[in-house]
Chains A and B, each alone.
Chain A
Amino acid sequence: MFNLVRAELRRIFYNRSNLIFSAITILCVLLFLVFRFIAIFGSDRAQAVKAYQDDFAFPASLLSSLSISHTIALILLPTITAFVVGSDYHLDTWKMILPRSPLRLRLLAGKLIALMVFVCYLFLFVVAILHICTLFGAYWLNTPMSFTEFLGDPENLRESLRRMLSTFAFIFWYSSVATFLTILSRSLLIGASCPLFVYFLCNLIRAYSPGYVSVVLAPTHFGNLLPRAENIVPIVDATRPDVWFGVSWLIVLTHLLGIFLVCHIILKRQEFASR
């Protein structure tokens, strides 16, 4: 498996599209920073320092990184996934790979693991870019880069962990949807463009359908993967369902495993005839 992941990672990291992915990532981070900095520096110094500490001082900055990563994932993840999974259809390289490495389940798992490694790399890239940029903010406001008081409040830690779980659950689910669509359609283009549509469709169903319909959708549960003070969570906002967090885990994992198995079944049944 390690060999397969290494092969996939080599293909991902040596691709020219990475320059585009990196450029879009930097652009997203910069746009976020520009809007936040305008808001921060428009206020008086005390408010600006407070806002800076809430948004950009470490470790609160990790929450900002998660927010940006969520947005970037929404835009880039289907393209990256379609590239990792769909390029073998597009380039007809399955004919080189499959005779040598015929276990399609392993190949699929290798691709998804490599994809997650690349997503983690992009997340670290976002963190790095954000922190480099916020250095200027700290210098401008003459305030320290770190904000250790943040760690003193348990609710902050809980919220950070919740957002992190939510973001990574979204990334796993979204990339598995993109993988499914790419394998099903054998098309890089459909794999890159349709997951966004599926995501919006899920949100539309969640917004307008009865609760028992939306409860079976994985995106409903991304924000509910960590218990609050009590185990049964009341409906406090639209992003969290009225179910125990264990049920949310079960539904999200069932979705992920189900999509993976369906992808495997489709891939196993696919034939690679002459093009």
Chain B
Amino acid sequence: MLLLLFNIIGLLMMWLASSRLVIWCEDAAPSWAMNAIEIRSLTKSYGNRNVVDHVSFNVRSGTVFGFLGPNGAGKTTTIRMLLSLIRPDAGEISILGLDARKQFASVASRIAAVVETPTYFPNLSALQTLRTLADYAGISMSREQLLSALDRHGLLFASEQKVDGFSLGMKQRLAVVAALIGDPEVVFLDEPTNGLDPEGISNMRGLIRRLADDEGRTVFVTSHLLAEVEHTCDEVLFLNDGRVCVQGTLAELLTNNKVCVRGFPIESVYRVVARYFPNRHFRKVDDPPGIELAIGYDEIPLLVRYLAGENIDIHEVFVKSRTLEEVFYAVIGTQDI
């Protein structure tokens, strides 16, 4: 009898424990709260050519992710696979925690995309175009809401104009307005600054940052303008020949761990560095003469102290960081962007 009672109590405790476990699991943040997009071994071939070759990466939620690479690297093919326009040969695509290859219909209502140069329906005005795209997405929007969306992107004046007559920049902006219909959580922007003037590029940069910073959306952006990416993205990935070359946050990629020192007499600088930082890679630079030294950020005060101890006139000590363009060329090894 007692044994039976213990068993019942034991079962009850196990049930309670499992309930708590379930509750804990529900409370815990789902995986897509961390990564909005998770790609594993994505592969696509045309004939014998691997256009996308076992590409894997994650895109953190609420960040701007730059997807970079030279022409023909496989960027647009990858985006089109993420958007279910192309079927991958292999690999897994998870968007917002859903298997995008099997549940794309559920994913579609939560994402938006501008793929390559936007193309529109002929003879429709900007307002009619937005209304048509909203209809396709199954979203009901009033005329006022659509006009307000156009107004936010400086297109109110052209709301009744035929899209055929729009400049490329206006078409790009309209594509972004259309993409933001329905409040998507993930926005794919393929070359969003194509055809924009400097002011337009600056506005687009601001818009992309606002989408991530103020509205918490994840933005997946491809661009050829590396300087723009450098100002806009939190994390970048370089693709070349369908393969991931490098991926990291901008801070990780641009930090060089190289310190540039300029002082007089320069020979004394060489001597101090050789004596106090043996086995460290350094190289002499000219015009003005100096030295480029690979040391840690925390070793810079020590270096300054040694130089001062040797009565060397220190003109300049600075951490030399790389530009994204330099990273790009280092990774891709070509000037053809």
Contacts and interface: CB of A to CB of B under 8 A. Distances in A.
A92 interface: yes
B86 interface: yes
Interface in A1-59: 3-4, 6-7, 10-11, 14-16
Given A10-B131, A271-B87, A272-B86, A97 B136 contact: yes
Interface stretch (A74-82, A98-106, A137-145, A211-219): A98-106
A98 B113 CA distance: 10
Given A10-B132, A10-B135, A274-B76, A99 B111 contact: yes
Residue of B80, B124, B136, B138 ringed by the most chain A CB atoms within 10 A: B136
Contacts of B133: 7, 96-97, 100
Interface string B102-129: 0011001001110110111111100010
Contacts of A93: 119-121
A95 interface: yes
A101 B138 CA distance: 8
B85 interface: yes
Nearest to B83: A99
Contact of A11 (B87, B104, B121, B140): B121
A117 to B, nearest CB: 15
Interface in B172-209: 175, 178, 182, 188
Interface string B282-322: 00000000000000000000000000000000000000000
A150 interface: no
A118 interface: no
B56 interface: no
Contacts of B247: none
B84 interface: yes
A102 B86 contact: no
A94 interface: yes
Given A94-B85, A98-B85, A11 B137 contact: no
Among A3, A98, A99, find the residue whose CB has the most chain B CB atoms closer than 10 A. Answer: A99
B58 interface: no
A104 B85 CA distance: 11
A92 B77 CA distance: 15
A10 B116 contact: no
Interface in A201-220: none
Contacts, number: 95
A3 B85 contact: no
Interface in B119-161: 119-124, 128, 131-133, 135-138, 140
A102 B104 contact: yes
A273 interface: yes
A272 B85 contact: yes
Contacts of A274: 76-77, 80, 116
A100 B115 CA distance: 12
Nearest to B117: A92
A100 B137 contact: yes
Interface string A246-275: 000000000000000000000000011110
Nearest to A92: B119
A155 to B, nearest CB: 46
Contact of A272 (B80, B131, B132): B80
Contacts of A235: none
Contacts of B188: 99
Interface in A225-259: none
A132 interface: no
Contact of B128 (A4, A10, A87, A91): A10
Contacts of B182: 100
B135 A91 contact: no
Contacts of B118: 96
Nearest to B86: A271
Interface string B269-291: 00000000000000000000000
Contacts of A99: 83-85, 108, 111-113, 115, 188
B218 to A, nearest CB: 15
A102 B128 contact: no
Give me the 7 closest cross-chain CB pairs, A-B, nearest first.
A7-B135, A100-B137, A272-B85, A3-B135, A99-B83, A101-B136, A95-B115
12 contacts: A10-B124, A91-B122, A95-B115, A96-B120, A96-B175, A99-B112, A99-B115, A100-B133, A100-B136, A103-B105, A272-B85, A272-B86
